[in-house]
């Protein structure tokens, strides 16, 4: 009886919090206190959503865990594979075979939201995209992210890659609490790659008082996603906003939630982990028609519309204005990777796998006697289930082989 009464209280608390959040909107949101995990507001928190580049937070988390486990080091080499180099923008555009330090790769992935670098990180640490996705899903299960599933490390659209606002809140808490040493990476104002300056897509950084992270994301099917955190007087709040209409409106929505949170002295007793599931938890919303069939191409981007553009007769958002100070840029680039190679990229003898296609025999000719020729450094191929040891077997008149 006490257990049932407790469950009723949990559900009642969830309903009250939803009411406090205001009228229901299409897009999911959640606002919570990072240190306690207590929720201040939430809306559609369990609705499936395409994460877009918010996926890269899980990629970073798996990388941090791999560093802690000794599989890789911050100065370990991350090589751009042919596959990763072919990923679509946003990207750094390094050629296949280019090598960088892991820490530089992660900074490019988090600030530039580079899809090619995220894939390279996943392939190098996991051994392959599929193997890394398995690790992402394993971590999601361990963290209790029951509404999430991953198939790639960069967040490019797949119908099988989805998450929820509540799950992302769990991920943020894990990153910030388990790996506080990497917190400064999420508040980098910009990168310097040679003579090129790259601004952070998170428009709260440098503009919203106390802003200190974390990540943005966009694909047509997700709309404009954002996780924004800020710290004031030792109190850190995190806002998760999914499915906004532009880079500017997602920043405005996150800022509004944070403002409301800092104006609320005491959050609810209900935590992110204890929030009972509600609403539609199965179907994933797709915003492709709304975002990319109705908006001009220049608005289908992580980058905000022209900052300070005076050609439009509309009031400028503070998140469209230029920074009121010279941004601090962190230098990144290729080279400097003197650490040990990722263990997933080494074979049993300690040699690095070759990023080359394996040769195959022409289908109109039988393979010669013995095993297929080995390729130095390549992953071993699984033998065919019924290899012929010598010349083709004799055939019947109907053309089928004798057995």
Active-site annotation holder among 56, 107, 215, 341: 56
**What is residue 198's predicted lDDT score, i.e. its pLDDT?**
95
**What is residue 15's predicted lDDT score, i.e. its pLDDT?**
41
Tell me if residue 225 falls in helix, strand or coil: strand
Whole-model pTM: value is 0.81
Closest among 124, 89, 268, 100 to 194, alpha carbons compared: 100
CA dist., res. 243 & res. 238, Å (int):
17
Q: Can you list the domains of the chain with their CATH numbers? A: 9-305+325-331 (3.40.710.10)
Active-site annotation holder among 53, 84, 229, 246: 53
**What is residue 226's predicted lDDT score, i.e. its pLDDT?**
98
Residue ranges of the chain with per-residue pLDDT less than 50:
1-25, 306-310, 356-365, 367-368, 370-390, 396-397, 402-403
Closest among 56, 52, 36, 44 to 18, alpha carbons compared: 44
Closest among 259, 269, 193, 250 to 232, alpha carbons compared: 259
**What is residue 334's predicted lDDT score, i.e. its pLDDT?**
97
113 is catalytic: yes
Closest among 38, 30, 269, 268 to 167, alpha carbons compared: 30
56 is catalytic: yes
Nearest 5°: the CA angle 330, 332, 334 is: 175
CA dist., res. 254 & res. 131, Å (int):
34
**What is residue 360's predicted lDDT score, i.e. its pLDDT?**
46
Active-site annotation holder among 76, 98, 113, 221: 113
95 is catalytic: no
CA dist., res. 289 & res. 301, Å (int):
15
CA dist., res. 359 & res. 83, Å (int):
18
pLDDT digits 0-9 by tens, 372-394: 444 334 444 444 444 444 455 55
Closest among 159, 137, 152, 147 to 222, alpha carbons compared: 159
**What is residue 81's predicted lDDT score, i.e. its pLDDT?**
97
**What is residue 355's predicted lDDT score, i.e. its pLDDT?**
60
């Amino acid at each position: 009886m006490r257990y049932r009464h407790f469950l009723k209280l949990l559900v009642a608390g969830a309903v009250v919090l939803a009411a406090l959040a205001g009228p229901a909107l299409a897009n999911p949101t959640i606002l919570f206190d990072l240190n306690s995990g207590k929720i201040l507001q939430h809306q559609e928190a369990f609705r499936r959503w395409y994460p877009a580049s918010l996926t890269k937070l899980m990629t970073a988390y798996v990388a941090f865990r791999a560093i802690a486990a000794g599989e890789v080091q911050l100065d370990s080499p991350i090589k751009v594979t042919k596959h990763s180099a072919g990923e679509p923008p946003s990207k750094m555009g390094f050629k296949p075979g280019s090598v960088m330090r892991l820490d530089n790769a992660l900074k490019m992935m988090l600030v530039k939201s580079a899809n090619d670098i995220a894939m390279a990180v996943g392939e190098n640490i996991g051994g392959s995209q599929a193997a890394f996705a398995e690790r992402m899903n394993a971590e999601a299960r361990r963290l209790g992210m029951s509404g999430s599933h991953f198939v790639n490390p960069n967040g490019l659209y797949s119908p099988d890659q989805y998450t929820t606002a509540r799950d992302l809140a769990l991920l943020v808490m894990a990153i910030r609490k388990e790996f506080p040493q990497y917190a400064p990476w999420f508040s980098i104002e910009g990168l310097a790659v040679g003579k090129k300056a790259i601004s952070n897509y998170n428009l709260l950084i440098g503009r919203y008082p106390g802003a200190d992270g974390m990540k943005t994301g966009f694909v047509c099917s997700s709309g404009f996603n954002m996780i924004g955190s800020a710290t004031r007087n030792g109190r850190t709040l995190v806002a998760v906003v999914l499915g906004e209409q532009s880079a500017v409106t997602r920043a405005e929505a996150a800022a509004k939630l944070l403002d409301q949170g800092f104006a609320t002295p005491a959050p609810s007793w209900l935590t992110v982990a204890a929030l009972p599931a509600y609403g539609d938890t199965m179907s994933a919303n797709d915003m492709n028609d709304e975002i990319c069939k109705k908006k001009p191409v220049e608005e289908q981007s992580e980058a905000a519309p022209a900052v300070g553009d005076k050609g439009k007769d509309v009031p400028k958002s503070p998140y469209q204005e230029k920074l009121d100070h010279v941004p601090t840029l962190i230098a990144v680039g290729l080279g400097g990777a003197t650490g040990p190679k990722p263990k997933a990229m080494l074979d049993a003898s300690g040699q690095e796998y070759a990023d080359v296609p394996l040769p195959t025999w022409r289908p109109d000719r039988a393979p010669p006697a013995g095993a297929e020729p080995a390729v130095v450094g390549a992953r071993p191929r699984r033998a065919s289930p019924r290899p012929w040891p010598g010349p083709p077997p004799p055939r019947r008149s109907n053309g089928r082989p004798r057995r």
